[in-house]
Structure 1
Amino acid sequence: MKKLHDIITHQRTLYALAFIFTLIFVGVMHGYNMNHYPYYESDEGTYISQAWSVINMGEFTPYTYWYDHPPMGWVFLAGWIQMLGGDFFQFGTSVDTFRVCMLMVHIISTALIFYIVHRVTKNIFAAIFAGVIFSISPLEIYFQRRVLLDNIMIMWLLFSIAILFVKKISLRHICASGIFFALAVLTKVTAVMFGPVILGYIILYKTKISRVFRTTIWLLVSIMSTSFYILYAFLRGEFFPAKNGEHVSFIEALQFQMSRKGADVHFWEYGSDFYFALESWMNKDIYFIIIGAIIIVLSIIVAIRFKNIRFFLIAFLLYFVFLIRGGVVINFYILPLFPFFAMIVAIMFYDISTLFCKREGTRAMVMFVPFLAVCIYYGFYGPRIHFLRDETTPQSNAIEWIKKNLPNDSAVIIDSYALVDIRDPHNINDKTFPNADWFYKINRDVAIRDEKYHNMWQNFDYIALTHEMLKQIELDSHSLVRDAYRNSLPLAKWLGDRETYVNEQKFRTTNGDWAMIFRVNDVHHAQLLDSWESYRSTYINFDGANYGQVIDPATNTTTSEGQSYAMLRSAWMNDHETFLAAWLWAKNHLQNRVGDKLFSWQWKDDAVADNSNATDADEDIALALLFGYKLWDEEQYLTEAKVIINDLWEHSVIKINGRYYFLPMHERDADKWSGYLFNPSYISPAHYRIFAEVDPKHDWEQLATDSYKTLNEIGERYDNKIYLPADWYFIDKKYGRFSTANTYFNRNVNHFSFDAFRVLWRVALDAQWFDAKDAHEYLTHTAEFVDAYYKKNGRMPMILSKNGIPINDSHALSTDVGYAISMLYGESTDHAHEFFEKYVYSVYDVERAFWNEGTNYYDENWAWFGTGVFYNNLSNIWEINVFRDDNDITL
């Protein structure tokens, strides 16, 4: 008797130790690095926000609840938060907190699997093996860590099954199984796929309870428990479809779910949802899928002999049929297969071992072999990305940046993972962002899209772009969110692992370990975008060897200026394809001078027509490259820009009497014996302030300061009555005095004209980007004359002498934008807006997206640049915050 007691005690001890070991093992596998991998996904945020709504709003969702899923899953999640005292941020972000909940759910599910397998086999190693198989693959961990209804549903389903494997089934076990099954269905409807298997087990199980009675009881309990969901819809008057779609309906939601179909191809063919899901699964753990498929085929064969696996195999196959049925298959739909696969593997290996081993100890050793093989493979050879990769820090940093930097009333398009963290006043600060809304609801929910935002993209301020959102923007080509994105520019970026490919212009992204903030521009930016697309299709070559060449059709020439304009405009329009094309053409055809990396200014008849450089184009190309580096994270752009910036200083910046001057070309070309040619419109202090950050060995900041001294000197001296500069000057080498440069040109360059107006645009950049005092003061001085002249004459001349006498009283679109910018800094902006509307905006053809006839290359560019500055829509892209997180977890 004592010996029997000792044996039983020993077995219980072994069972307890094995049970504890298994739970610790799977807890470590599941829990280590779970808040950093995988990235936060939209579905996680959806269910978390709905749990948040249950607690804080007393509603099932923060938006219209349309019966897409039964609510038990997020009600369960709300209960988890209540256990934590209502703190959604107990373990970090809201997703982090609920991933801890998923860890608990997973441990409970593993415990149930351990129990079921041990009840079937009476073998501890088989039970351990099942728990390990359920938890060890990177494919399983990828989805099991996430806050998904499927994980909760699996737990309830396993409860429903486990309670039927007690030593002696009674009526209360039947009832409990039915209740747990109902909870599974009320968590996610796909649990019904396992109902026939459980019901079949109840029917076939030998017990004293009548077969008809126990079957009826289980069905009644399950159906009655589940019917509360239907009753809820009835009581709210939302069961039947409404006339004219006045409210949501249970029936319509059910019809929608049943009508969701994948591609019209066989499941094994490329293009089917199942094919793409399988591809995704194999990318995460190819050997798990291949070996798993072999094991399932083997289990089908041996199931003829081994009846213990039949229940689990039928459940597996029924759900597998659901996956290949031809409907929608999302990659996490594989989750319910994992527990049944784990139990099939463990029970099958045990049953096979009984054929060859009569002693229990030997069977244990046989079971230990596959267990050891699995552990060795995943411990030393298998993927370990789930332990090492940090995919969530960029996303959580984006949330923090929004909370700390954006106004509380901002209308922000967000992914659902961020909704609770941004809206909850207990996270980071007390901002609540009532106008931060999930992109899916903005596109689909009438109350949000039409009533709140009036279906106008202009009503949004920012977009918090993510992997999931970008994919949906690509699919919804005519959506409100896409329109807002099309009219936005990046403000901040958080980039993850360098293996992740992100090309937001082409809607391409391979992983979700990144986040970006875009600022939505006003309606005038839409004009910039439309006119840019017309310009690129008209003036830029996208065919053959001259791909990226900008051609002025009036002269059939290409200039470094034209290439620089295309690069700047494509940067401001976030158009990487055109930017790269224009840059490569300029680099390959114009950047071939001897002694420097500046650009020959003119190309004609497939050859360089003038090898001299124009420094306005050089500095604009350099700035565009810096912008490209910030926008698209291309390190080579930064490297190329630094070389150009260095050569600009070394060959085009001179010092006379302690003052720096920026020459319009290489010093040797500007040198005219006793002095230099000088063009004020090439001066760009805003550029120099940015160059100073990447080229600290040269005093670009001082050049910016000295440039204003030069502009003010020109405005105040030399009989200048208008404060505006002339197109060109000659500056003597000894004293830095300015005089006429007419000797060197075949036209009169002593007037304010087609070159000089650009000073106003370039100085305005400095005022807008850096709020430079010198810039504001200079523009204010110019506005005194321009305002007075316009007030008196109601127009501005194309060419103006320094005495204020019009040389050519006709209009020129390019010079008009200069005047309009100057007027912005006068006593009142009314004149500026009146003038701009009359002479710039009025000649814009909305349908063709061109100014005037669209045939003047120079006017098209400067109308665009002028419009951008006039409405402050040309942002300093260099200020974009780019953060890269390369600090993965170290084991």
Structure 2
Amino acid sequence: MPDSDGPAATRAFLDAAWQAYRRIYIHPSGYVLDRTRNGGEVTSEGQSYALLRAAWTGDRATFDRVHAWTTRVLQRPDGLHAWRWSPEAGGRILDGNSATDADQDIAFALILAADRFDEPAHLDRARRILRAIHLGAGIEVAGGWFPSAGNWAVPERIVNLSYFAPYAYPYFARLDPDADWEGVATVGYALLARATAGGEASLPPDFMVVAPDGQIAALPPDSTLGATFSFDGIRIPWRIEFDCRLHGRAEACASIGGLPALSALLAEEGRLVTAYDTGARALDRGESPSVYAGLLPALDRQRPDLAALVRRTHLGLPSLGAILQRDDRYYDLNWVWFGLALADGWLVERTPAPGRLPAAPTRGP
């Protein structure tokens, strides 16, 4: 199995985990129910994760069902998606604002599905979302632009670096060349470097403010957003490692994004907790498989000794098998799957090269 028997067992686990996830979390209507949110809510993030996994596994029936519901219920007139919905009282939008991580992940899932299911219309659907992100959630940064955390975040220029998805930008650039998505990657790596400029013991905050010149500032004093490194931030090493493995980008293949600090903590203490301040000081004592799974692919390449420790003590068969039986582990079931699938090389195998996409013409002046 994943902790001892190699890639074949890992892939068997990935298949079993997807079957369990579909059964426990995906409603027949096509929405993903996260029972840890106020007894049961739906987020655009959850929809995006289901779409990605369905596309990568070749599960067209699930993809079509989840996509149809997402488009019908969450997609806004501008092409972005409302981030929060409740099934109570026949269903209602709880927050109509967008979340840029989900919008980008939905667009990328559509690109994957266009190739996997031979459905070119999905490329047009992805393009619409990309243009909406640029127009409705983009902010000008250092002569270029960068996606803010959502349409709501534009006035205060709030960014979440765990939403940074550089592995997807070569694909986005093919569909939406006017937006200079490769320039977005350049800006994002510069922001990530600034966010961890405090040395090897620094971690990027979940949310921060980005000035027009690219400098980073603290959140407004009255903000209720997280300024720590927590469940959002742990996605950063995964997203950066995917860029390295898929495209070989030099910045992605370096030890960045909080990886030095997390590696040092893991080597010293043998464990990681779910929240740290930006100086890598622990803020709680709890652990989560998501934290280890988000870090595992980068450790496999850069610190195989620590990767072996994680597989042996934190992502072994007993703990993984247990979460497949529960209905309150939505986030863990997603990120354990993403982490193992990337570390094993399975996601790269099932992601087509950007050149397979037809290049869209620029719109001109």
How many Å separate the matches in 2 of 1:745 and 1:861?
28
* Secondary structure at the counterpart of residue 201 of structure 2: coil
* Number of the residue aligned with 1:541: 27
Superposition deviation, residue 710 in structure 1: 0.9
1:761 partnered with 2:241: no
* Number of the residue aligned with 1:645: 130
Superposition deviation, residue 834 in structure 1: 1.2
Residues 148 and 154 in structure 2, CA contact (< 8 A), matched pair in contact too = no
**CA-to-partner distance for each residue in 1:147-187, whole Å, 9 max, x for gaps?**
xxxxxxxxxxxxxxxxxxxxxxxxxxxxxxxxxxxxxxxxx
* Secondary structure at the counterpart of residue 158 of structure 2: strand
* Number of the residue aligned with 2:178: 697
Superposition deviation, residue 610 in structure 1: 0.5
How many Å separate the matches in 2 of 1:694 and 1:704?
16
Higher helix content, 1 or 2: 1
Letter in 2 for 1:866: G
* Number of the residue aligned with 1:631: 116
1:775 partnered with 2:252: yes
1:713 partnered with 2:194: yes
Residue 632 to residue 530, structure 1, CA distance change in 2 (3 Å): same
Residues 293 and 315 in structure 2, CA contact (< 8 A), matched pair in contact too = yes
Unaligned residue ranges in structure 1 (runs of 5+): 1-457, 460-520, 884-891
Residue 806 to residue 834, structure 1, CA distance change in 2 (3 Å): same
Q: Of residues 204, 213, 235 in structure 2, which corresponds to 1:725? A: 204
Residue 798 to residue 852, structure 1, CA distance change in 2 (3 Å): farther
Residue 745 to residue 866, structure 1, CA distance change in 2 (3 Å): farther
* Secondary structure at the counterpart of residue 608 of structure 1: strand
**CA-to-partner distance for each residue in 1:72-91, whole Å, 9 max, x for gaps?**
xxxxxxxxxxxxxxxxxxxx
Letter in 2 for 1:755: D
Letter in 1 for 2:261: F
Letter in 2 for 1:835: V
Structure 1 residues 604-683: aligned runs within 5 Å: 604=86, 605=88, 606-666=91-151, 669-672=152-155, 675-683=156-164
**TM (normalized to structure 2)?**
0.88
**CA-to-partner distance for each residue in 1:59-100, whole Å, 9 max, x for gaps?**
xxxxxxxxxxxxxxxxxxxxxxxxxxxxxxxxxxxxxxxxxx
1:561 partnered with 2:29: no
How many Å separate the matches in 1 of 2:266 and 2:325?
22
Q: Of residues 305, 311, 331 in structure 2, which corresponds to 1:858? A: 331
Residue 753 to residue 711, structure 1, CA distance change in 2 (3 Å): same
Letter in 1 for 2:113: G
Letter in 1 for 2:352: W
Residues 685 and 762 in structure 1, CA contact (< 8 A), matched pair in contact too = yes
How many Å separate the matches in 2 of 1:880 and 1:705?
18
Superposition deviation, residue 525 in structure 1: 1.7
Residues 814 and 862 in structure 1, CA contact (< 8 A), matched pair in contact too = yes
Q: Of residues 783, 787, 802 in structure 1, which corresponds to 2:278? A: 802
Q: How many residues matched?
A: 347
How many Å separate the matches in 2 of 1:797 and 1:845?
18
Residues 203 and 280 in structure 2, CA contact (< 8 A), matched pair in contact too = no
* Number of the residue aligned with 1:378: none
Residues 630 and 878 in structure 1, CA contact (< 8 A), matched pair in contact too = yes
How many Å separate the matches in 2 of 1:670 and 1:782?
24
How many Å separate the matches in 2 of 1:795 and 1:744?
33
Query: How well do the aligned residues superpose, as a CA RMSD in angstroms?
Result: 2.4
How many Å separate the matches in 2 of 1:800 and 1:740?
16
* Secondary structure at the counterpart of residue 122 of structure 2: helix
Residues 720 and 803 in structure 1, CA contact (< 8 A), matched pair in contact too = no
* Number of the residue aligned with 1:841: 316
* Secondary structure at the counterpart of residue 647 of structure 1: helix
Structure 1 residues 148-297: aligned runs within 5 Å: none
Structure 1 residues 352-363: aligned runs within 5 Å: none
How many Å separate the matches in 2 of 1:882 and 1:609?
38
* Number of the residue aligned with 1:24: none
* Number of the residue aligned with 1:587: 71
Q: Of residues 160, 169, 178 in structure 2, which corresponds to 1:688? A: 169
Residue 569 to residue 830, structure 1, CA distance change in 2 (3 Å): same
Letter in 1 for 2:289: L
How many Å separate the matches in 1 of 2:74 and 2:157?
24
Superposition deviation, residue 882 in structure 1: 7.0
Higher relative contact order (CA 8 A, sep 6+): 2
Superposition deviation, residue 872 in structure 1: 2.0
Residue 819 to residue 852, structure 1, CA distance change in 2 (3 Å): farther
* Number of the residue aligned with 1:867: 340
Superposition deviation, residue 559 in structure 1: 0.9
How many Å separate the matches in 2 of 1:582 and 1:632?
15
1:738 partnered with 2:220: no
How many Å separate the matches in 1 of 2:311 and 2:219?
32
* Number of the residue aligned with 2:228: 751
How many Å separate the matches in 1 of 2:188 and 2:294?
19
Residues 625 and 637 in structure 1, CA contact (< 8 A), matched pair in contact too = yes
Letter in 2 for 1:654: I
Residues 528 and 868 in structure 1, CA contact (< 8 A), matched pair in contact too = yes
* Number of the residue aligned with 1:374: none
Superposition deviation, residue 857 in structure 1: 1.0
1:575 partnered with 2:82: no
Residues 776 and 825 in structure 1, CA contact (< 8 A), matched pair in contact too = no
Structure 1 residues 460-499: aligned runs within 5 Å: none
Q: Which has the larger radius of gyration?
A: 1
How many Å separate the matches in 2 of 1:843 and 1:634?
39
How many Å separate the matches in 2 of 1:766 and 1:526?
25
Q: Of residues 346, 351, 362 in structure 2, which corresponds to 1:877? A: 351
How many Å separate the matches in 1 of 2:320 and 2:264?
30
Residues 692 and 699 in structure 1, CA contact (< 8 A), matched pair in contact too = yes
How many Å separate the matches in 2 of 1:694 and 1:665?
21
How many Å separate the matches in 1 of 2:115 and 2:176?
16
Unaligned residue ranges in structure 2 (runs of 5+): 358-365
Residues 782 and 822 in structure 1, CA contact (< 8 A), matched pair in contact too = no
Dislocated runs of 4+, deviation >6 Å: 880-883
Residue 783 to residue 611, structure 1, CA distance change in 2 (3 Å): closer
- Percentage of pairs with the same residue: 28
How many Å separate the matches in 2 of 1:802 and 1:574?
39
Residue 845 to residue 727, structure 1, CA distance change in 2 (3 Å): closer
**TM (normalized to structure 1)?**
0.37
1:602 partnered with 2:84: yes
Letter in 1 for 2:84: Q
Superposition deviation, residue 743 in structure 1: 3.3
* Secondary structure at the counterpart of residue 877 of structure 1: coil
Residue 804 to residue 695, structure 1, CA distance change in 2 (3 Å): same
Residue 739 to residue 881, structure 1, CA distance change in 2 (3 Å): closer
Deviates more, 1:685-694 or 1:736-745: 736-745
Residues 590 and 600 in structure 1, CA contact (< 8 A), matched pair in contact too = yes
* Secondary structure at the counterpart of residue 224 of structure 2: coil
* Number of the residue aligned with 2:295: 819
How many Å separate the matches in 1 of 2:94 and 2:259?
39
Residues 237 and 259 in structure 2, CA contact (< 8 A), matched pair in contact too = no
Residue 677 to residue 852, structure 1, CA distance change in 2 (3 Å): farther
Residues 690 and 878 in structure 1, CA contact (< 8 A), matched pair in contact too = no
Letter in 1 for 2:177: P
* Number of the residue aligned with 1:531: 17
Residue 881 to residue 707, structure 1, CA distance change in 2 (3 Å): closer
**CA-to-partner distance for each residue in 1:799-851, whole Å, 9 max, x for gaps?**
1122221111221222222333343343x3111121133112345454x7x45
Residue 853 to residue 680, structure 1, CA distance change in 2 (3 Å): same
How many Å separate the matches in 2 of 1:872 and 1:579?
22
Residues 843 and 851 in structure 1, CA contact (< 8 A), matched pair in contact too = no
* Secondary structure at the counterpart of residue 206 of structure 2: coil
